[in-house]
Amino acid sequence: MMISAAPGVFGNKWFCSQPFQTLTEHFNGLYNTERELFCSLFYIMCVTIFNPRADELDMDVVNAISTSLNRNTIAYYLSQLAPYTHDDGNVIEIKHDLITIALIHALIRKSENPWKVLKVYDNTRTLEIVRPDDPYARPHKFAVPLRREMFAKALSVLEEKTFYEN
C-alpha cells in the first residue's frame, strides 16, 4: 500500500535495497522544500496518536516544532501524509517505526535546534537512537551518531525533561 501511495519514495530500487537511507534523504528533502508538510508529519509523530477532529493541538509540541503550525495546516496536508500515516477513521498515527526513525534523523541533521523538539517527544524513543559518534565503533545503521558535545546536550535536555515530569 505504501508503494502505491508514494511510488517515487517506496517504489524505487534504492528503497528496496536501502529503505532507511532512502526515507531519511526523502525527509531531508521535505524539510528543505516543504517545511509545513514535514512539520505536520513530525507533529503527528510527536503526539503519537493524532485526532483530526480535536479542537486544539498540543501547543507544547506546536511551539517546539513550528509556531506557524496549526490545525488547518495539518488538515490540509493529511492526504499527502497518507503514505506515512495510518488513518482508521478516528485517529491518525505513523505507519511504521522506520518512518519515525528517519524523521528524527532528518530533524537532527537539518534543524538548528532539534533539542526543543526532542523535549516534547518520548525520551525513551529518543535515547534508543541517539549515540555518541565514536570513530572506533560503527553505530547501528538506525542510530543517530552525534558529536560528543551534541550528545551531551541531548542527554542534558532529556534529563531536564525527565526531572520536570517527575
| Domain residue ranges of the chain, discontinuous segments joined by + | 2-7+18-165
Single pTM value for the model: 0.76
pLDDT in tens, 134-161: 666 666 666 666 667 776 776 676 666 5
Q: What is the pLDDT of residue 24?
A: 86
Instruction: Return the amino acid letter for 72.
Output: N
Residue 43 confidence (pLDDT): 93
How high is the pLDDT of residue 39? 93
Interior CA angle at 153 toward 19 and 155, to 5°?
A: 75
**Residues whose CB falls within 8 Å of the CB of residue 112, separated by 6 or more in sequence, listed in order:** none
Q: What is the pLDDT of residue 3?
A: 55
Torsion over CA: 107, 31, 74, 97 (sign): negative
Q: Rounded to 5 degrees, what are φ and ψ at 108?
A: -65, -35
C-alpha angle 128/29/38, rounded to 5°?
65
pLDDT value for 163 = 46
Low-confidence ranges of the chain (pLDDT < 50): 163-164, 166
Among all chains, which residue has been given the C-alpha cell 496549526? 70
CA dihedral 56, 61, 65, 68 (to 10 degrees): 20
pLDDT at 137: 63
Q: What is the model's pLDDT at position 71?
A: 92
Q: In the structure grid, which three cell numbers stand for residue 116, read together?
A: 526543543
The pLDDT value recorded for residue 126 is 61
Q: What is the pLDDT of residues 58-73, one digit of tens each?
A: 998 898 888 889 999 9
